[in-house]
């Protein structure tokens, strides 16, 4: 089956009409894959890939690997001071140089991780009519929804994936608000991830030279935004991406990926594969962590390649401030304990009342955020700007 190219009355390609037709079907990218297309619709073609640019990582063996951190000795009542310090040192180096690491022996049961991947698969592969009831773009009022490409109408090109999204904290939805095919495992997985996030924030606090409870006390781990991605096999993977190059707006993101791979991180001006490790979780720092650490820790670009095999399934848990009323009067800036005459604040903000949280936005990137934007003053690098959401 070939691709239908939509033209307007003047015979010109009508991108808007093609986007709307795809959106109105509510079948997502999986619907296209099920139709056994031999060519991807034009809305998915990434121009830089079409020109043969910016696709491959360095050949295997010629590039560095994302650090791996063993959490086996840092659980509560399990670590000796020496073991913990060694783990903190490894985490610090990974956060300063990479903004990414893979965690092993992290305490989330392997069986639960496998069931979580299975739950996301079950949701996306259920009967289309059952799935359509969850289809929406109303992120403002719905805690749980499914769609394909949250930025479908604004992005230069659509990504080859569908997504189930849930706001799981600080106020978890009623269980009946979650899809029945994955309800129980989402709730159980959320509890395990929040426990792991507490451990990660303790290690990050210590890596910054702060009290272990510092980041938890300023509510970095309070919000949890869950996304279950489904990346079908793509007939022309060299022309599109599963997820475009971006950074996360979170404090940290905890990612569960299956064995198929495709995740890449930008490091030293090259794309590095984040190869799946059985039982591991991928941890990356978001823009908010770079902000509050005053650039001591970094939030780096990453993406997901489209593949001709699949589906690839991943589960991303973003630890971030998300909803009022909890965060209606919070403003995040560089942590004062990290500042000095030698290390002045790179960012400064309007500390007026009524501000919620800050986002670190690259001017070269487009962010889709709900709410009213109020610009903050920026000091230093011209390529960065801080915004607050009210």
Is residue 325 within 8 Å of residue 255, measured between CB atoms? Answer: no
* Mean pLDDT value of segment 277-291: 97
Query: What is the C-alpha to C-alpha distance for residues 305 and 20, in angstroms, rounded to an integer?
Result: 25
Query: What is the C-alpha to C-alpha distance for residues 83 and 203, in angstroms, rounded to an integer?
Result: 12
Say whether pTM exceeds 0.85.
Answer: yes
Model pLDDT, residue 77:
55
What pLDDT digit, counting tens, does each position of 139-184 carry?
Answer: 988 999 999 999 999 999 999 999 999 999 998 999 999 999 999 9
Q: Is 284 helix (H, G, I), strand (E, B) or coil?
A: strand
Q: Where are the alpha helices (DSSP H) in the chain?
A: 15-25, 28-34, 47-50, 81-97, 110-125, 128-132, 183-207, 214-217, 287-292
Q: Sheet containing 357-362: which strands, arranged edge to edge?
A: 357-362, 384-389, 373-375
Query: What is the C-alpha to C-alpha distance for residues 129 and 177, in angstroms, rounded to an integer?
Result: 17
Model pLDDT, residue 321:
79
Q: Return mean pLDDT, the chain.
A: 85
| Tokens found for residue 288 | 């908010």
Give CA separation, 232 vs 24, 143, 146, 189, 363, in Å: 19, 25, 15, 24, 31
Question: Is 60 a residue whose pLDDT tops 60?
Answer: no
Q: Tell which residue, 37, 30, 46, has the closest CA to residue 147.
A: 30
What pLDDT digit, counting tens, does each position of 64-112 carry?
Answer: 999 999 999 886 556 688 899 999 999 999 999 999 999 999 999 999 9
Lowest mean pLDDT among 207-211, 262-266, 308-312, 374-378: 374-378
């Amino acid at each position: 089956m070939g691709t239908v190219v939509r033209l307007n009355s003047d015979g010109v390609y009508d991108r808007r009409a093609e986007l709307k037709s795809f959106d109105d079907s509510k079948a997502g990218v999986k619907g296209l894959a099920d139709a056994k297309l031999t060519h991807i619709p034009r809305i998915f073609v990434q121009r830089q890939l079409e020109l043969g640019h910016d696709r491959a990582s360095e050949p295997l063996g010629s590039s560095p690997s994302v650090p791996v951190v063993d959490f086996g000795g840092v659980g509560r009542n399990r670590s000796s001071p020496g073991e913990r310090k060694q783990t903190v040192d490894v985490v610090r180096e990974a956060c300063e140089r990479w903004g990414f690491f893979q965690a092993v022996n992290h305490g989330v049961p392997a069986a639960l991780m496998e069931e979580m991947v299975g739950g996301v698969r079950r949701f996306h592969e259920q009967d289309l009519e059952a799935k359509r009831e969850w289809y929406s773009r109303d992120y403002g009022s719905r805690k749980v929804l499914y769609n394909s490409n949250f930025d479908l109408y604004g992005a230069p090109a659509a990504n080859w994936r569908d997504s189930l999204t849930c706001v799981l904290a600080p106020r978890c939805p009623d269980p009946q608000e979650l899809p029945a095919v994955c309800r129980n495992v989402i709730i159980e997985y959320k509890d395990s991830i929040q426990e792991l996030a507490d451990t990660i924030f303790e290690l990050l606090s210590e890596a910054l030279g702060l009290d272990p409870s510092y980041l938890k006390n300023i509510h970095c781990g309070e919000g949890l935004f869950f996304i279950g991605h489904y990346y079908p096999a793509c007939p022309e993977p060299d022309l599109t991406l599963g997820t475009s190059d971006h950074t996360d707006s979170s404090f940290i993101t905890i990612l569960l990926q299956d064995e198929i791979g495709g995740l890449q991180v930008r490091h030293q001006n090259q794309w590095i594969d984040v190869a799946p490790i059985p039982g591991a979780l991928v941890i990356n720092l978001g823009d908010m962590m770079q902000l509050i650490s005053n650039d001591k820790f970094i939030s780096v670009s990453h993406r997901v390649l489209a593949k001709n095999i699949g589906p690839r399934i991943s589960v991303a848990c973003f630890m971030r401030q998300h909803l009022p009323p909890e965060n209606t009067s919070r403003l995040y800036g560089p942590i004062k304990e990290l500042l000095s005459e030698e290390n002045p604040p790179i960012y400064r903000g309007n500390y007026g009342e009524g501000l919620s949280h800050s986002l670190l936005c690259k001017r070269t990137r487009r962010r889709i955020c709900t709410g009213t934007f109020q610009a903050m003053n920026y000091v230093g690098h011209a390529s960065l700007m801080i915004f607050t959401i009210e």
